[in-house]
Chains A and B, each alone.
Chain A
Amino acid sequence: MNIQIRGIHKAFASFPALDGVNLDIESGELIALLGPSGSGKTTLLRTIAGLEFPDEGAILFGGEDIANRPVRERGVGFVFQHYALFKHMTVAENIAFGLNVRKDRPSKEAIRQRVNELLDLVQLSGLDKRYPTQLSGGQRQRVALARALAIEPKVLLLDEPFGALDAKVRKDLRRWLRELHDKTGYTTIFVTHDQEEALELADRVVVMNRGRIEQVGNNQQVYEQPATPFVFDFLGSVNILPGEVKNRELRFEGSDDVWDSESKETGLVDIYVRPHDLQLVEAAAPGLDAQVTLVQRAGAVIRISANLASSGERIELELSHLDTLARSRQPGDAIRVAPITFGLFPRAPHRQPKTLPDVVPNAPAESRERAR
C-alpha cells in the first residue's frame, strides 16, 4: 500500500507538533522517521495510524484520503514502545485478539492456525500459553509485532520499537526485523531517535525537526549529503569552521590555502566537516595548523582533540590506528589538518551550540507523553 501525506498540520494547544509535512512512501518500503524529542516524528506516526487527527491536510492510502477515518477502520498494525500487550491474556490470546473482535470473525480453527503461523514467523512457537509478564522484553516486542500482523495490516507502524530494550537485544531484534520485512513485504514506518538504528535498518530515512521534514533520502544520501545544517549535526558529530567562498574557491578562515567548491554558496559560510573526514597531512601540504590537546585510543579509532592555531577553535578528529601520522601523537604536538569532504552552509547569524538541545523547550509534555 503506497502512502501519500499532503500538507499535514497538527498543533497541541499553541505548540505546532506538525507544521506542513509532505511525504510519499512507496509500497513495501521500510521507512525511518528520525528526529530528536519533540520533533513531531511520533505525532506523524500516530496521525498516520489515526490515533491523532490532523488539523489540516490529507493522508492517502493507495490514493484514498483516510485522514478523517477512525483508527479501527484504517487497518494499520501499530506496535507501541512499551508493547501494550494485554496482561490478562496469554500470548496466543493476544495475537488472536484482532481476529476475535472482527465482525466477520474467522472460525476457531482458522484463528488457531493463523496464530500458530504468526508464532512461527516471530520464532516464539511453544510460548503460546505464557502470559506477557513471563516474557523478556525482546519476546514481548515479537508478540506485539505478531499481534499487529494478525490483522494483515495495510501498513505496519512501529513507535520506538527498540527503545526499551538492552543494547544486545536491540541489535539482534533490529536485524531480525529487517529479515522479517524482506520476507513479508509490509510497508513499514518506524520512529526512532537513534541515528544508527535508522541508518542501519531503513530503506529511506526521514529526518524531522520542529514539526518539519528536513530531508528524505536513503542512508547514504542523508549521511553523506545532508541537506541542512541540522541533518549534518544530528546524524553524527561535526566540526563547524568559518570560511569564505569566492569564485568557486573556498578559503578557511586563518589559512591561505584554497579548496575547490562545487557548492552554489558564495560569501561567508560555515564549513561542516565530520571528525572522520579530517586527515593529518605533511607540514608542506595545504591545511590548517593546530595543536593537540587530547588523544584517546578507542579500539581501531584514534580520537584527537586539537585547537586551531589561527582561532583557538576546538576541533575533533577520528583517525584510523593504521594512519602513520596519527600514531604516537602526544598532547602539545603541532599537527596539520586537511578536510577530505565537507558541507557548506551560509554563515548562521549566531553559531549554534554543537550539542543539540534534547527537547524542544516549549513542547507541552502531553504532546510527547500522551500515549503513556
Chain B
Amino acid sequence: MTADASLQDPPALPPEFRPEGPLLHRNAAISEPAWVQRILISLALLFLLGFLLLPLISVFAEALRNGWVTYKDALFEPDAIAAIKLTLLVAALAVPLNLVFGIAAAWAITKFEFRGKSVLISLIDLPFSVSPVVAGVIYIMIFGRHGWAGPWLDENDIKIVFAVPGIVLATVFVTFPFVARELIPLMHEQGTDNEQAALTLGASGWKTFWHVTLPSIKWALLYGVLLCSARAMGEFGAVSVVSGHIRGQTNTMPLHVEILYNEYQFAGAFAVASILALFALITLALKSYLEWRHGDELAATRRH
C-alpha cells in the first residue's frame, strides 16, 4: 500500500523562512562600498544621538541637577501629584472608550458591506489630519458657555468644558484612530470564514466574538491600546484648549510642565517631564516586546 499523501506532515521551511533567520545576510549585489556604508551609518547614528537620545537624557539630567531631594520635593508638590493623577485618570477613561469604539468600528468596516463605508473610513482618519487645537476649539464651540449646548448645560449644572469630561472628550477625539487603524488591516485580511465556521458549529454571536474573533486580533489590539495610551498621556493641544489650566484641578502633566516652565521653575518642570518621559519609555518597551510577539503571530497567520 502506498503512503497517503493527504496524511503527510508539512515540509520543513526553507532556510530563509526559518525563525532563526536566513543563512545569507548580505547581498553583495545591492551593497555599497565599505567607506560609503560607514559614512551613512555614522550620519544616521549622529542624528539619532543628537535629536532623540540627547534630549531624552537631558530631561533626566536637568530633573536631577539639584539633587534627589529637590527632585522628590518637586514631584510630591500637591499640584504635580494632582496633574499626574489627572493624566492617568484621563488615560484610564479615554483608552477603554477607544478600545470599544475601535473594535466596533473595525468590526463594522471589515465584516459587513454597507453604504457610506468609505465615508466612515475617512472619518476615522479625521483626528489624524485635523490639528488637535481645532478639535479643542470645536468642543468649546459645542459645550462652552456661549456654545450650542452651553445654556442647557448651565441650567442643568453639568460642566464639560474646563472640567474632566471635556479633557476626556478631547483626548478620545485625538486618540480615536489608533485602535481602529491597527485592527482594520488585520481583520480585513482574516475575512469572515472563521466567524461563519463558528456559527455553523452552533456558537452564538457573542460566543463567536469572544472565542474566535477576539483571540485572533488580541496582539494587534494590545498594540493599538498601547499606542493609544501613550498618545492619551502626552496629548497637549486639544486638552490645552478645553482644560482651562486650573491648577490642581484640570492640569494634566503636559500642561503642568508648560506652566512650571513659563514660571521659570525649571527643576519642577523637568521633574514632571521626566515622569512623563518615563511613562513613554515604559510604553515603548512594552510596544517593542509586543511587536516582537505580534510579528511572530502575524507571520503564523499568513503562513497557509
Contacts and interface: CB of A to CB of B under 8 A. Distances in A.
A78 B193 CA distance: 11
A133 B300 contact: yes
Interface residues of A, number: 49
Contacts of B301: 87, 133
A145 to B, nearest CB: 11
Interface string A101-123: 11000000000000000000001
Interface stretch (A167-175, A183-191, A226-234, A287-295): A167-175
B184 to A, nearest CB: 16
A151 B198 CA distance: 12
A77 B200 contact: yes
A136 B197 contact: no
Interface stretch (B2-10, B96-104, B250-258): B2-10
A51 B198 contact: no
B200 A136 contact: no
Interface string A60-91: 00000000001110011110101011111000
A102 B193 contact: no
Contact of B202 (A98, A166, A170, A372): A98
Nearest to B203: A101
Interface string A93-105: 0000110011000
B256 to A, nearest CB: 43
Nearest to B2: A172
A52 B202 CA distance: 16
Contacts of B193: 80, 82, 84, 371-372
Contacts of A142: 6-7
A78 B211 CA distance: 19
Interface string B263-304: 000000000000000000000000000000000000011011
Given A78-B200, A97-B203, A172 B5 contact: yes
B6 A141 contact: yes
Contacts of B192: 371-372
Contact of B216 (A70, A88, A151, A366): A88
Contacts of A51: 196, 199-200
B197 A80 contact: yes
Interface string B210-222: 0110011000000
Contacts of A72: 199-204
Given A82-B193, A372-B191, A165 B200 contact: no
Contact of A371 (B7, B191, B199): B191
Scoring B11, B193, B201, B202 by chain A CB atoms within 10 A of each residue's CB, the highest score goes to B201
Contact of B6 (A49, A98, A172, A371): A172
B207 interface: yes
B157 to A, nearest CB: 48
A101 B199 CA distance: 10
B200 A76 contact: yes
Given A84-B194, A88-B215, A134-B10, A166 B5 contact: yes
Contact of B201 (A88, A151, A168): A151
- 8 smallest CB-CB distances across A and B, nearest first, come from A138-B6, A98-B201, A84-B193, A173-B6, A136-B10, A84-B197, A78-B200, A101-B203
30 contacts: A49-B200, A51-B199, A70-B199, A72-B201, A72-B203, A75-B202, A77-B200, A78-B197, A80-B196, A84-B194, A86-B211, A86-B212, A88-B216, A97-B201, A97-B211, A98-B201, A98-B202, A123-B7, A133-B300, A136-B11, A138-B5, A138-B7, A138-B8, A139-B8, A147-B201, A171-B5, A172-B5, A172-B6, A371-B192, A372-B193
